[in-house]
Amino acid sequence: MSDDKKYGLARGLTNYGDMDFSLYLRRSFASSMGYSREMLTKKIVGIAYPPSGFNNCHRHFPELLDAVKRGVLAAGALPLEFPTISLGEVFLNPTSLKFRNLMAMDTEEMIRAQPMDAVVLMGGCDKTVPAQLMGATSADIPAIQLVAGPMITSRHGEERLGACTDCRRFWGKYRANEIDQEEIEKVEGRLATTAGTCAVMGTASTMACIAEVLGMSLPGTAAIPAVHADRLRAAEATGVAAVGLIESSIRPTQVITRKSVENALRVLLALGGSTNAVIHLTAIAGRLGIDVPLSWLNELSDTTPVLVNLKPVGEHYMEDFFYAGALGAVLRELKPLLNLDCKTVTGETLGDRLTTPSDPVDRRVIASADAPLESEGGLVALFGTLAPGGAILKRSAANKSLFEKEGRAVVFSSLEDLSNRVDDPCLDITEDDFMVLQNAGPTSPSGMPEAGYLPIPRKLSSKGLTDIVRISDARMSGTAFGTIVLHVTPEAAAGGPLALVRNGDRIRLSVRDRKIDLLVDENELERRRTYITSSQRDPRTLRGYDKLYAEQVLQADKGCDFGFMLPREKQ
């Protein structure tokens, strides 16, 4: 029997030169875990399981795992969990993005190397879901995503608090001396109080919605709060569905297609979702050889309304989104714009899903397509002499009065330079200037951190300024807001025009024209090019994963994946 016709423990045998011996030995060792012979003849659902003492968002995974296993067993297969790397957003140095590809490789190789007929991907915190989808797509056995679900909110006086838009809001107040040390410490203890992912439409919730619209997770599961009993029922149903996938043989490469990626981009735009999701979706699609040019994002943005009134763009939180109708309500509004023939892990198409009757929708949280919050999508790509490969602006979270503007550059050459000088009372800056941060892109020493939300210099914030144009090759947390141009490509460390900007240069931003231009004469730029030194790290001075990362990471417009992880024809 060929290996792909085998199932359960008989798949992918360890090679001792005698396959019958290998199976005999494997069954014997598996028996030592207390399984009966009957259990060991069943089909196997692997469960990629990344809890960690360094990942608060996955705190409830043991309980969720029990529910997945219950579902798998009830459907007649054997559930076997296996650990993978876990990425807790705020616990990783220099930034979690650096380790997304490592988790993707770990997930892919452990799916491929171990004997499983289908896999449940348990993820949640920002980089974990994209890493799992990247890995599972490359491994390409039947796979289904189960997300952690968002935290529920807490209270501070009369205010609701949810990680982590309110983290930034209160930190801004503290920097502007509006609240004191005692109050910020109280807020610190109240921002994140339950298991689950950030409580707003940040990266984790955006990726949860993207996994659902791609067709990789069960309908209606993206927004269920982490601590709600429905989350456990979703986990049980995911276990049952994973067994169904073994029969139907639906694989990720049949679910994630150019058409479903387009649906995901539509949803991202309608949610006013995280800018990080552009990088992650590009990386997931890239595993299939599907390009996601930023011009595609702009084309879709022109015809996709913003429908969701959630922080950081709007007023509400993920639990409100869940009760308001969740992603299903958004998809119904977007129906005429979606590719309805896309297959999902249930075996149904997206169109089939949308034929079922809908619950009432709370229009304070999810607008109708007839009366959207914005007529155009929440994200826009900018191109021009400062960003020939493109840059991203989350216009739904930005200040419209700054959209058509020319300003003087105030340049910070690195994150260290920024932190040393941003609060210097002598810093030469006004509210009409553009703050520019260099050398925070993927190949810089900082590894493209979520530092694009540059702090407003204290001399301006203390006078009440809450926004200023900020430009960098860094990323921004999905929970942040402001007129912030991110992912400038090529990055400064790779010699992009961003590296050539000097204090006092003029920059023009036009959201209407999708332009970001450095207004400096080409001869002068050429002269500067002769003396800039690269801040890229030299792989010859590095070792291990650091070296691999420095040598292989692609630019933001390619999803920051590793070049060698792409399909062979794209390498």
- Minimum CB separation of residue 183 from ligand FES in Å reads 22
Stretch that binds ligand FES, among 198-206, 245-253, 425-433, 559-567 (CB under 6 A): 198-206
| 3-class secondary structure, 146 | strand
| Residues 553/558/560/566 CA torsion (nearest 10 deg) | -70
Q: Which phi and psi angles does 267 have, rounded to 5°?
A: -65, -45
Q: Segment near ligand FES (CB under 6 A), from 71-79, 197-205, 285-293, 425-433?
A: 197-205
Measured CA to CA in angstroms, residue 514 lies from 95, 104, 270, 487 at distances of 29, 33, 19, 15
What whole-number distance in Å separates Cα of residue 553 and Cα of residue 571?
A: 12
In whole angstroms, the minimum distance from the beta carbon of 198 to ligand FES comes to: 3
Residue nearer to ligand FES on the CB measure, 107 or 205: 205
Closest approach, Cβ 147 to ligand FES, in A, equals 10
Q: How far is the CB of 197 from ligand FES (least distance, A)?
A: 4
> What is the smallest separation between the CB atom of 126 and ligand FES, expressed in angstroms?
5
Cβ proximity to ligand FES, 92 vs 460, nearer residue: 92
* The binder of ligand FES chosen from 13, 72, 110, 125 (CB under 6 A): 125
Residue 146 Cβ vs ligand FES, minimum distance, rounded to whole Å: 15
Query: Which region among 17-25, 194-202, 314-322, 422-430 touches ligand FES (by CB under 6 A)?
Result: 194-202
* Residue 126 or 319 with smaller CB distance to ligand FES: 126
Q: Which is nearer to ligand FES, 53 or 293 (CB)?
A: 53
Site for ligand FES in 89-108 (CB under 6 A): 89-90
Encoded tokens for 396: 């739904």
Decide whether 57 or 216 has the Cβ nearer to ligand FES: 57
Is residue 227 involved in binding ligand FES (CB under 6 A)?
Answer: no
* Distance of closest approach, residue 124 Cβ to ligand FES, in angstroms: 7
What's the closest the beta carbon of residue 365 comes to ligand FES, in angstroms? 20
For the bound state, the minimum distance from the C-beta of residue 86 to ligand FES, rounded and expressed in Å, comes to 10
The answer to whether residues 487 and 392 touch, using CB atoms and an 8 Å cutoff, is yes
Instruction: Output the 3-class SS for 439-481.
Output: CCCCCCCCCCCCCCCCCCCHHHHCCCCCCCEEEECCCCCCCCC
Decide: residue 114, CB within 10 A, 0-12 exposed, 13-18 middle, 19+ buried. Answer: middle
Of 127 and 316, the one with the shorter C-beta distance to ligand FES is 127
Q: How far is the CB of 188 from ligand FES (least distance, A)?
A: 14
The nearest distance, CB 95 to ligand FES, in angstroms, is 12
Which stretch in 195-203, 339-347, 423-431, 480-488 sits in contact with ligand FES by CB under 6 A? 195-203
Residue 571: what residue type?
Answer: Q
| 79: preceding bond cis by omega (within 30 degrees) | no
Task: Tell me which of 47, 118, 152, 198 binds ligand FES, using CB under 6 A.
Answer: 198
Per CB under 6 A, which region of 196-204, 378-386, 427-435, 555-563 contacts ligand FES? Answer: 196-204
The residues, ordered by sequence, that sit 6+ positions from 344 with a Cβ below 8 Å of its Cβ are: 215, 216, 219, 255, 350, 353
Q: Which is nearer to ligand FES, 477 or 555 (CB)?
A: 477
Helices (H) and strands (E) counted in the chain, each on its own, are 19, 14
Site for ligand FES in 483-502 (CB under 6 A): none
- Is residue 347 within 8 Å of residue 250, measured between CB atoms? yes
Comparing CA positions, the residue from 154, 115, 169, 108 lying closest to residue 133 is 108
Minimal distance, residue 565 CB to ligand FES, in Å: 24
Binding mask 290-319 for ligand FES (x = CB under 6 A): ------------------------------
Bridge partners (DSSP) listed for residue 436:
411, 471
Greatest Cα pair distance, the chain, in angstroms, is 77
User: Within positions 47 to 76, which residues make up the interface with ligand FES, using CB under 6 A?
Assistant: 57
Contacts of 537 (CB under 8 A, 6+ apart): 443, 444, 445, 546, 550
Strand, coil or helix: 79 = strand
24 versus 54: smaller Cβ distance to ligand FES = 54
The residue count for binding ligand FES (CB under 6 A) is: 9
Q: Which of 106, 108, 117, 126 binds ligand FES (CB under 6 A)?
A: 126
Rounded to a whole number of angstroms, the minimum distance from the CB of residue 207 to ligand FES is 9
> For residues 198 and 326, which CB has a smaller minimum distance to ligand FES in the complex?
198
**Strand, helix or coil at 414?**
coil
Closest CA to 260 of 149, 358, 344: 344
Rounded-to-integer distance, Cα 357 and Cα 361, Å: 12
| Residues 6 or more apart whose Cβ sits within 8 Å of residue 561 | 101, 104, 134, 283, 286, 287, 553, 554
Residues in region 200-219 near ligand FES by CB under 6 A: 202, 204
Q: Which is nearer to ligand FES, 64 or 240 (CB)?
A: 64
Contact predicate 128/87, CB 8 Å: yes
Does position 197 interact with ligand FES (CB under 6 A)? The reply is yes
The residues pairing with 311 across neighbouring beta strands, listed in sequence order, are none
Nearer to ligand FES, 100 or 537 (CB): 100
Rank residues 167 and 278 by Cβ distance to ligand FES and give the closer one.
Answer: 167
Contact residues: ligand FES, CB under 6 A: 57, 89-90, 125-126, 197-198, 202, 204
